[in-house]
Structure 1
Amino acid sequence: VIVASYGKIIPKKILEIPKYGCLNVHPSLLPKYRGPSPIQTTILNGDKKTGVTIILMDEKIDHGPIISNSKFEIRNSKLTYGELNVKLAKLGVKLLIETIPKWIRGEIKIKPQDHSKATYTKILKREDGKIDWSKSAQEIERQVRAFNPWPGTFTFIKHKNKTLRIKVLEADISKDNKLIIKKLQPEGKKAMSFEEFKRGYHDFDPIL
């Protein structure tokens, strides 16, 4: 049985049914970033390296011994969650194709995870996308990419005595380390460039 992106614990009686066990494909280099949001956490932390790990599942989440893994160097520092997810999914498929025949033939020796080095990620909620403007420009830019497309990164403004939710879709960092918002989407409107936004909402007040 092959499992991927399944966030529930599988009972032992189910895990023991398949002859070759239940294998889990996880988009991080375990034991780093166990849990439901490893790709987003990789981007949020500005990591330069990630990967995919195949483990033999046990009764704990992302806890079982390692069967194989493959590293991925993040050379493009502007990858969004959606883009990195696709790249790691392709890497996972390639690793499965290489691993399964060897596993079935009994050619792989499993390696226990070093649980003392385990780190954990959390379930993301919509409110996690709200921008904290006290953070650095680099942290906010990474948040925009990590939460694209979900849960999205957003802030609020005051415009014509109304509070509007603004979704930030694309951002960058200037040479002097300031945040540049390049693309956004006001509540109920289509996505637009920041220049278009300024023309339509030139008298807005930010809510920090």
Structure 2
Amino acid sequence: MQEEKKPSIVFMGTPEIAEIILESLCLKNYPILAVVTQPDYKPKNKCEDDFISPVKKLALEKNIPISQPQKLDDDFEKWLKTLSPDLIIVAAFGKIIPEDVLSIPKFKSINVHPSLLPKLRGTSPIQNALVNGLTETGVTIMLMDKGIDTGDILSQKNIAIDPDDDYITLTGKLSVLASNLLIKTIPGWIDKTIKPIKQDDSQATMCQLIEKSDGKITWDESAQDIYNKFRAFKVWPGIFTYWENKGNLAKISLNEIIIEKNPILQKHHLGEVFKYDDSKIGVQTNDGIIVLNKIQLAGKNETAIGDFLNGYPNFVGSILK
């Protein structure tokens, strides 16, 4: 029996999760007419190489035509129409796509979103799932419309969030889940065996936009809330606090922390750094202890806590702000 012809695709995406999804489409021999991804840019740190999106890197390997428009304007729309794609697939593209573009393909445009819609609509669902301490999330394949993640649902699958999952590990799990779900969904959408289901807007939640300042720790938070921030902001912006050292306020990034699961009941001030169990360095929260393993003083390299104390023994007993 002759294999059914696969729909031609224009793929729009930028980060690692989109790269993995694109790779899965290539492995299944879907004809990728072109990829559309964010433009290259120069990082603020001049020592770093220019940023090239993971999707672009994969497209170069696969010899897939690449478009990196600054704007999705009339010229972009005309170019896309010349390709005449059967389907546009979007995964973490990074820009709002005009309705006129979404309506070009024969089988419309679909989005791969890493949450269980209508929960966590918006641009940072993975970070928000972690910072909110959720124990479950998932992937939704949906039709795209003019709203932000408001389109009809084609398929959905959930996944457990492990207590120590962070942004990197959870993104990896969701990338695999998304790839597998998309590959199963496309044929059903094309042959009309999958019927779109409207989202229940009354159950919708929106993602909090992540800003650099969100990484600031306040020690009157619970130990779990602080750890959830650490998990969510592992890649960016990280979590940090301030230490007053000899009259100077220094920023300290907390690069590796854990929760003390059996905290010893001691009387310490919120944010106080103290030593216990011979080798552990803890910080008092409103209900427990955060154990510091690796920290980084602004302008310095990351340091194991023991080595840091060799240089700054006055760190113990200080109050982090």
- State the AA in 1 paired with 2:204: A
Quick one: distance in 2 between partners of 1:6 and 1:117? 25
Gapped runs of 5+ residues in structure 1? none
Aligned residues: 207
- State the AA in 1 paired with 2:203: K
Residue 94 of structure 1 corresponds to 180
Instruction: Indicate the larger mover: 190-199 or 62-71.
Output: 190-199
1:197 corresponds to which of 300, 308, 311 = 308
* Matching of residue 138 in structure 1 with residue 251 in structure 2: no
Instruction: Indicate the larger mover: 64-73 or 76-85.
Output: 76-85
CA contact (8 A) 1:9 1:60 kept: no
Residue 101 of structure 2 corresponds to 14
SS of 1:156's partner is: strand
**Cα offset for 1:195?**
2.0
**Cα offset for 1:65?**
0.6
SS of 1:168's partner is: strand
Scaled by the length of structure 1, what TM-score is found?
Answer: 0.94
**Cα offset for 1:125?**
1.2
Residue 185 of structure 1 corresponds to 296
Quick one: distance in 2 between partners of 1:183 and 1:142? 17
1:50-199 superposed matches below 5 A: 50-74=137-161, 76-174=162-260, 175-176=262-263, 177-199=288-310
Residue 125 of structure 2 corresponds to 38
**Cα offset for 1:71?**
0.8
Scaled by the length of structure 2, what TM-score is found?
Answer: 0.62
Quick one: distance in 1 between partners of 2:298 and 2:308? 12
Gapped runs of 5+ residues in structure 2? 1-87, 264-287
- State the AA in 2 paired with 1:82: I
Quick one: distance in 2 between partners of 1:113 and 1:166? 43
Quick one: distance in 2 between partners of 1:193 and 1:118? 42
Residue 206 of structure 1 corresponds to 319
Identity, in percent, stands at 44
- State the AA in 1 paired with 2:229: Q
**Cα offset for 1:140?**
0.4
Residues 13-44 of structure 1, C-alpha deviations (whole Å, 9 max, x = no match): 11110111111111100000111111111111
**Cα offset for 1:196?**
2.0
Quick one: distance in 1 between partners of 2:220 and 2:94? 32
- State the AA in 2 paired with 1:79: D
CA contact (8 A) 1:145 1:170 kept: no
- State the AA in 2 paired with 1:187: A
- State the AA in 2 paired with 1:134: D
**Cα offset for 1:5?**
1.2
Residue 23 of structure 1 corresponds to 110
**Cα offset for 1:132?**
1.4
CA RMSD across the alignment = 1.4
**Cα offset for 1:79?**
1.2
**Cα offset for 1:199?**
2.0
Larger Rg belongs to: 2
**Cα offset for 1:69?**
0.9
Residues 74-105 of structure 1, C-alpha deviations (whole Å, 9 max, x = no match): 2x311111211111111111111111111111
Quick one: distance in 1 between partners of 2:225 and 2:200? 29
**Cα offset for 1:206?**
3.5
Residues 44-91 of structure 1, C-alpha deviations (whole Å, 9 max, x = no match): 1211111000110000111001010111112x3111112111111111
Residues 103-157 of structure 1, C-alpha deviations (whole Å, 9 max, x = no match): 1111100100000000011221111111111101110011111100111101111
